[in-house]
Amino acid sequence: RRELSIESGHGTRWMAERYVQAALAAGYAGDLDAARELVATAQDAVESPTLRAWTRYVEGELDGLAGEWVPAEAAYRDAIEGATRTGASFIVGVASVGLVSALVAQDRIDEALHGYRVLLDHWERTGGWTQQWTTLRNLADLLDLLDDGATAATLRAAADAAPEAPVVAPDPAPAGDPAAAVAPSAAAGPIPGRGRVLDLARAAIADALAVRR
């Protein structure tokens, strides 16, 4: 994928953007060294403020993949600030998803919960339900940590059933134990629709914040 991205940009004004996209693909594939080199190659050619914000988002993703959460947080915040100035709401959203992950990783749970509350509103307002389901799955992971496994299971089950949600493969089974693979989530009752899912998520965030006061 990264090679196709770079090749498609040769000789065009989109070359820097293609290198940034290739960096993201390389990072998600586990090749962080190559990803960082690709971002560095793109840096001098990045002129658009929106692309600059996207580049900072990608740098945040790479830092997060490396477990370097302090620089990741800084990159995500830069991306959000830059994208807000240009009206690039999608970048604001995905960088905010990264930011709440960085906050959780640094055990700043209250800030993360507030961030999730803002994110649910953002994706609902912009209609980004593919990203909303990813956000809800990430929130479910945090709710598990906060001992709200019932709501977490319901959010995951709703995401698993939503046709517009990204497909998540089951966790691989431990070697020699194929029966131990984690199956898709199952809710305790009927799978709720979008509106009910958001109500449940917001109520869970409010409850978690109330308990932590």
Please, which pLDDT band fits residue 16 given cuts at 50, 70 and 90? confident
What phi-psi label fits residue 191: left (phi over 0), alpha (psi between -120 and 50 degrees) or beta? Answer: beta
Asked if residue 95 lies in contact with residue 79, where contact means CB atoms within 8 angstroms, the answer is: yes
How many Cα atoms are found within 13 Å in the side-chain-facing hemisphere of 99?
25
Predicted structure pTM score: 0.85
Asked if residue 208 lies in contact with residue 143, where contact means CB atoms within 8 angstroms, the answer is: yes
Q: What is the DSSP string of the chain?
A: -HHHHHHHHTTSTTHHHHHHHHHHHHHHTT-HHHHHHHHHHHHTT---HHHHHHHHHHHHHHHHHTT-HHHHHHHHHHHHHHHHHHT-HHHHHHHHHHHHHHHHHTT-HHHHHHHHHHHHHHHHHHT-HHHHHHHHHHHHHHHHHTT-HHHHHHHHHHHHH-TTSPP-PPPPPPTT-GGGPPPPP--SSSPP-HHHHHHHHHHHHHHHHHHH-
| pLDDT surpasses 50 at 168 | yes
- 126, with CB counted inside 10 A (0-12, 13-18, 19+), is middle
Average pLDDT across the chain, whole number = 88
Confidence at residue 187, expressed as pLDDT on a 0 to 100 scale: 58
In sequence order, the 6+-apart residues with CB closer than 8 A to the CB of 124 are: 132, 198
Asked if residue 124 lies in contact with residue 87, where contact means CB atoms within 8 angstroms, the answer is: no
Residue with tokens 């109330």: 210
The arithmetic mean of pLDDT across residues 20-49, rounded, is: 91
Please, which pLDDT band fits residue 8 given cuts at 50, 70 and 90? very low
The arithmetic mean of pLDDT across residues 180-207, rounded, is: 81
| pLDDT surpasses 80 at 32 | yes
| pLDDT surpasses 90 at 113 | yes
Please, which pLDDT band fits residue 212 given cuts at 50, 70 and 90? confident
Confidence at residue 93, expressed as pLDDT on a 0 to 100 scale: 98
| pLDDT surpasses 70 at 1 | no
114-157 pLDDT, tens digit each: 999 999 999 999 999 999 999 999 999 999 999 999 999 999 99
Q: Percent of the chain, pLDDT > 90?
A: 74
Q: Identity (one letter) of the amino acid at 163?
A: P
Q: Percent of the chain, pLDDT > 70?
A: 84
| pLDDT surpasses 50 at 5 | no
Confidence at residue 169, expressed as pLDDT on a 0 to 100 scale: 65
The arithmetic mean of pLDDT across residues 89-102, rounded, is: 98
